[in-house]
Amino acid sequence: MLVLRTLMRVLLPLLMVLSLYLLLGSFEGVGGGFGSGLLAAGAIILHMMISGSARPRQTLTLSYIVLAASGILFAMVWGSVNLLVNQPFLSARWFDNPIPGIGSLGIPVFLNIGAYMVVVGVTTQIALLLLEEAAAGSSQPSPDGADQLARSTTAHNGQGHLSRPRPRNQKGRVL
Amino acid sequence: MLLSIIFFCLLVAPLSLVIRRSMRQGSMWVLALVPLVCAGFLLAQTGTIVGGRPIVENYFWARNIGGGLDFDISFVLDSLSLLFALLIMLIGTFTILHAGHVLARHQQSDLFFCYTLAFLGCMLGLVLAGNVLTLMVFWLLVPVCSYLLLGYRHEMLIVRYAARQAWFIPFGGSLVLLIGLLILGESLRSLGMSALDAYDLAVIRSTGGTVSATAAYVPAMLCILVGCLAISAQVPFHFWHTSAMQIPAPISIYLHTITMVTAGVYLLARLAPALSNTILWSDTLIIAGGSSFVLSAALALRQHDVRPLLAYATTSQIGLMILLLGTNSPYTQAALIATLLNYVCSIGALFFLTGITAHASGSYSLEPAQSMQARLRQPLTPWLALLATMSLAGMPLLFGFVARELAFEAALTGVLPVLEYSFVFLALALGIPLTIVYLWRLLRYVFLAPAGHTAQHSAKTAPAGMLLGPALLGSCLLMLGIPGAGQAFVANALINPAASLVAGRPIMIELVLWQSPASLILSLLVLALGVALVRYERLLITLFASLPARLNAQRICDQILRGFYMLATILMRPIQDGKLRIAVAAMLMVWLGLIGPLLLTFGLQYLNLPMAQPLRRELFAYELLIVLPIPIGIALMIRARSRLEALSGLGIVGSTLALFFTVFSAPDLALTQALAVALLTTFFVFSFPLIPIRATAKAPNFMRLRDISIAGGAGLLIALLTFVTLVSNIPIDSIFLANELANEDIPASSQLFDRVSSFYIDNSGGQEGPTNVVQMILLNFRSLDTFVVLVMWFIALLGIVGLLRKRPEQHKRSRQQIARQPAHTVPAEAAEPAEIEVR
């Protein structure tokens, strides 16, 4: 475990840089907002799993929901810039001069970045929720080997709630 | 420019939260500036617009979609929309000032201001809309804003009930309205107009009688009428407005009452030149408007609470306007606009004044015994109330009298069949005296109560911010009632241009005290009748109390809603009973049932299996090797004894697909696929402890057979569809593209979708040349889809958060929080929201 944890310390920045490279270089080569976002999310989730469920939130202290929401906002704002010059929403317009070192910027680049943010935010938040839920949820033993494995990734929690999540089939209230 | 005004309101709305937090006391003055600045800006355009040149703005939205349809976002500022926009913005200013005082101590008042500004922005968009698309966007947004605005104190049951009803009726009506406008637009398109023209409101108005000659006229007009009557709270739909008025703190409703319900009148007036030249139009408007006018006045009379009384007064006055719109006379339009102005000024003033007294005394009751208790007695309020009620009642030397004269003149000169002609007079002769009686009740029991033993209240005067609105509105009524420069200016700058627009021809009517002797005599007679009836107020109340208590469709609406719930339950029970397998099976079976027969009957004839034609290139052995793990993985999944085994089978299939993409030169897809499979597996593993444990015994054979047949059928369907689209040889001009692409030279044997991919490859480059075609498809050609996908990701996340965040201990905590709230926040009548109407 220690080996993995140490390895992950090195790997996490590397994987993040790789995902950023795939994100920004995607117009010339392989990559794209969705793929690179999944890569970054995978790296963060891996780090969460390895560093133990006691503090999965401390891997990167930022609100992933806000990250996802701001990704949508980012894409929307840059897409609406088109409206100011009487062009369709989100149409692909490129700035005239490529910026040295970065390449040519345009609306698709920003949409791509927005997609990246949404994918990272949503995927990581789901994993985080599942991890926390698993940590706080069941403590019943199960015959499934899978459950053993899952619990080993979520380590032991001191709280030990015995109650399982209730079935959530609430009847629709009339009124 | 018009767009930026609307955006200004909509963007300041969230900012108001910050402004409100940072400067508690003065914030309402700052926020009230927002609509005031907009009003001032619009007023500055008066000169241009009265000169007959409307300001038109078109924004490119979507071109050439779905077979050559074009849609723009379009805004028009002409004299009619100027009038409505000014009224909305002024009332908005006063409402913010009023609410700033009333809500000073409320917890969630920040949200109230946010919603108010958003509502104002949407209303402004509604009246400035230049075509059907823009109109419908704002028309659908307005009920949403009003829902938020009404429900801002959502901890009370009665508020939620009222808010939902106030959303349900106008929203449902707006869907009907949309159908009507679509019928209208399509009938115009069938006459040879382009889509851009057929859905432009100005063009629709200019068509004159051509629409009413077509067969589509009757359904279109009726649908439009239903939508307008629903948002204007007219008789079959009037109950939403009354129940919305009964919420404990009805400031939010002031805004709607005065602005939102006029939206129906606005649209009817705007479309009048195109629709109005039939007897059916007059009939429906006269019957709907006249019955609303009289019935609501009678219902207002029997109320013992200020709030429903004012709500019914609103409905009644809007009914009068719709009635007038149906009178086919040269005075119709001017009478409509004058009645509208009188209505907004006097009802607006009354709303604010009753708000002041209720804020001071804490009571909305009209009972004389209670109203003696604590009434704010101060120098200005009763006088302003007197002014407003007298103007609404149509007393001489106030603007109401001028408007009344115009109304009678319109009724007298109306070109209508005898039956309708007499119905108009009957409605006026019944409605106006009843209006006078209920206004007298309001004035007497709310504003003119003797001081009695309320010495402690006598020194308290309403703050200037609250009095500013009613004082300005009252002085308008006074100024417009007396012939002079002010009256002439309003007549020339607002009433006549707007009336000309409604009529579709220039109209020049002078505002004089009486238009003709006949109308003067009638008006005075009705006035005298009303004043005489005041003496029999008690008798009238008992008379109308015997009207059936449920003289509204509220119960029907509740039944309909309940029916929806039941239907949804019946439909969803078998499909979504909490088991994912059944939900997926139902989804696949619907798909199989809908698309399968179509494919079998029409698609298979185009199917040209690759065996029948020579291969384009050789197959390599390793390609077959790549395919091999897929069936192995599937077999592993089917035969799996534990979840982990099944999951590993899924992983094998997924990673093999990724390999497949790599070999066939789609590295982007391969990367995404591999990562998605890895994350999916991780999520499954994470969620295993959360899923209830089932017996791992083998399912019975018939179940396995059933599952296999559904899954296999769905897989086969997808495979066949893919084959048909990719491998078939369909001549393009034989299918639906024939019309649009007929003029381009297309090789007869080209395949259907080769064209699309070559288009992508040719056009993705641009000058600088981003070379990744997949990226360009995602971010350029399909950018809107990509954006929607992002939003869907986020919505899915919200759903998951909602599901996982409901742990039992958190349930317990939230329940404790609710229990700790003070009891008085829940009103006594909250238990029976359906019963509030009867009293």
pLDDT at res. B507:
81
Residue of B nearest to A140 (CA): B689
pLDDT at residue B81 is higher than 60: yes
A155 in B contact zone (CB under 8 Å) = no
Q: Which of residues 801-820 of B touch A (CB under 8 A)?
A: 801, 803-809
Instruction: Using CB atoms, pick whichever of A76, A94, A127 lies closest to residue B768.
Output: A94
Sign of CA dihedral A18, A19, A20, A22: positive
Residues B696, A164: C-beta atoms closer than 8 Å: no
- Mean pLDDT across the stretch B684-699? 72
B528-531 contacts at long range (C-beta below 8 A, 24 or more positions apart): B529/B429, B529/B432, B529/B433, B530/B393, B530/B432, B530/B433, B530/B434, B530/B435, B530/B436, B530/B437, B531/B436
B583 in A contact zone (CB under 8 Å) = no
Q: Which of B818, B800, B798, B822 is nearest to B810 (CA)?
A: B818
Q: CA B356 to CA B462: how far, in whole Å?
A: 7
Candidate from B265-274, B341-350, B532-541 with smallest mean pLDDT: B532-541
Structure token pair of residue A88: 């369709």
CB half-sphere exposure, B615, CA atoms < 13 A: 5
A88 in B contact zone (CB under 8 Å) = yes
- Mean pLDDT across the stretch A55-82? 81
Instruction: Using CB atoms, pick whichever of A22, A32, A144 lies closest to residue B778.
Output: A32
Other C-beta atoms closer than 10 Å to the C-beta of B500 total 20
Greater pLDDT, B657 or B47 = B657
With bands split at pLDDT 50, 70 and 90, how would you rate the model's confidence at B732?
very low
Question: Roughly what angle, to the nearest 10 degrees, separates helices B306-326 and B332-361?
Answer: 180
Residues B797, A125: C-beta atoms closer than 8 Å: yes
Candidate from B230-234, B473-477, B548-552, B768-772 with smallest mean pLDDT: B548-552
With bands split at pLDDT 50, 70 and 90, how would you rate the model's confidence at B553?
low
Question: Roughly what angle, to the nearest 10 degrees, separates helices B381-393 and B332-361?
Answer: 150
From residue B389, alpha-carbon distances to B382, B435, B438 in Å are 10, 10, 10
Amino acid found at B213? A
- Mean pLDDT across the stretch B292-309? 85
Greater pLDDT, A174 or B161 = B161
With bands split at pLDDT 50, 70 and 90, how would you rate the model's confidence at B660?
confident
Residues of B in contact with A91 (CB under 8 A): 780, 783
pLDDT at res. B421:
87
pTM score, two decimals? Answer: 0.75
Q: Report helix, strand or coil for B688.
A: helix
Contact yes or no for B255/B149 (Cβ under 8 A): yes
With bands split at pLDDT 50, 70 and 90, how would you rate the model's confidence at B794?
very high
B613 in A contact zone (CB under 8 Å) = no
Other C-beta atoms closer than 10 Å to the C-beta of A118 total 29
Structure token pair of residue A101: 């070192």
Q: Which of B504, B38, B798 is nearest to A125 (CA)?
A: B798
Question: Roughly what angle, to the nearest 10 degrees, separates helices B517-533 and B399-412?
Answer: 120
The mean predicted confidence, pLDDT, of chain A is: 73
B831 in A contact zone (CB under 8 Å) = no
- Mean pLDDT across the stretch B329-339? 89
Residues of A in contact with B796 (CB under 8 A): 122
Burial of B709 (0-12, 13-18, 19+ CB in 10 A): exposed
Q: Encode B728-767: b = buried (16+ Cβ within 10 Å), e = exposed.
A: bebebeeeeeeeeeeeeeeeeeebbeeeeeeebeeebeee
pLDDT at res. B266:
92
Candidate from A147-161, B7-21, B217-231, B378-392 with smallest mean pLDDT: A147-161
Residues of B in contact with A161 (CB under 8 A): 809
pLDDT at residue B673 is higher than 50: yes
Q: Encode B427-454: b = buried (16+ Cβ within 10 Å), e = exposed.
A: bbebbbbbbbbbbbbbbbbbbebeeeeb
pLDDT at residue B153 is higher than 80: no
Residue of A nearest to B678 (CA): A42
Residue in B688, B694, B792 to test binding to A, most A beta-carbons within 10 Å: B688
Other C-beta atoms closer than 10 Å to the C-beta of B618 total 6
With bands split at pLDDT 50, 70 and 90, how would you rate the model's confidence at B139?
very high
Greater pLDDT, B609 or B186 = B186
B512-526, pLDDT tens digit by residue?
A: 777 788 888 888 888
pLDDT at residue B722 is higher than 70: yes
Question: B335 Cβ partners below 8 Å, 6+ apart?
Answer: B324, B327, B403, B406, B407, B409, B410
Residues B766, A94: C-beta atoms closer than 8 Å: yes
